[in-house]
Amino acid sequence: MEKLITEGDLSILKNKDIAVIGYGNQGSAQATIMKDNGLNVIVGNIRDEYAKKAEKDGFKVYDIPEAFERADLVLMLIPDEVAPEVYKSVESIVNKKEGLILDFASGYNVAFGFISPPKTSDVIMVAPRMIGEGELLLHKQGKGYPVFLGVKNDYSGKAWEYAKALAVGIGAIGKPGGIAVKSSFEEEALLDLLSEHTWAPILVASIKAYFDIVTEKYGASPEAAILELYASGELAEIARAMADVGIFKQMKFHSTTSQYGQFSRAEKYYDILRRITEDEAEKIWNGEFAKEWSLEQIAGKPVLNRLWNIYTESKLSKSEESLYKILGRDKNE
């Protein structure tokens, strides 16, 4: 099978009853796009505000076990940390429904054994590399977006075809700009977690270090520092240019002084960051992080809650709050 995929046969899903479990960011976007594409979609959700929104948007909403009972294809679009408990509540239904197609938007729970679907199910992964709001915007523009596709169990012999068809159904491929990459549950989990353990925290740490040094040691105004760092929107434009033309070609949009500073200092940081990345990748791959995160959840997330307090009470956070009030921005959005 080809590694890069741009097309799929949506017709094989036309006679399927499709249940979207969870009507949050991904659930609402994928359900809406599938409905627009003529598929039979219901929503499985607890009776909360998300369920009310789904009903308002025109979907029939059922309790999660009933949604599983009614469906031929189930999309598990709930947060990783609650998915195992939800799956446990419907496991007996899944076990007796031979040929059920189970889709996951993240490889995490299956890769690390928190969810173990039966061999009598097709177990696929259609993992968008896009937030729900972005999926809807691109759908309205007639454009696609990237997804990772994986198959953990091919009971029917058609699991890959179902994965490709679903990628079409949710608006990812079959349109300009849309591409699917053949992957696996394990690879997706590694890539996703490693982003969250390397460049993302490094960005946060470097911004905070920059802010603390220039304001505390050199007397720079907090407002000027925050605008320079990210509040002006320049950082977002750089990221957009990376997506559009590539990480190195976008450097041509910067001054030669900037180019020299970035390339020469990248060499300075590379060896340190490579060692950190190698260590984090190993801890993800061998399951050490999955164990760490599970224990953190069992304990009531004390470390996460403490870190939230530390960062939101920092000088950077307080200064940002003051600046954003002046700018008329809502920090909580």
* SS3 assignment, position 187: helix
> Around Cβ 178, how many Cβ atoms within 10 Å?
20
Dihedral angle sign, alpha carbons of residues 229, 235, 236, 239: negative
Q: What is the DSSP letter of 268?
A: H
Q: Name every residue whose Cβ is closer than 8 Å to that of residue 60 and which is 6 or more positions away in sequence.
A: 42, 43
Q: Residue 38 corresponds to which tokens in the numbers above? A: 């003529």
Query: Does residue 228 have a known ligand-binding role?
Result: no
CB 106 within 8 A of CB 81: no
192 marked as binding residue: yes
Q: Which helix (H) or strand (E) holds 283?
A: helix 256-285
Handedness of CA 167, 171, 174, 178 (dihedral sign): negative
**Bridge partner residues of 18 (DSSP):** 41, 73
> Binding site for Mg(2+): residue ranges?
192, 196
> Binding site: residue ranges?
192, 196
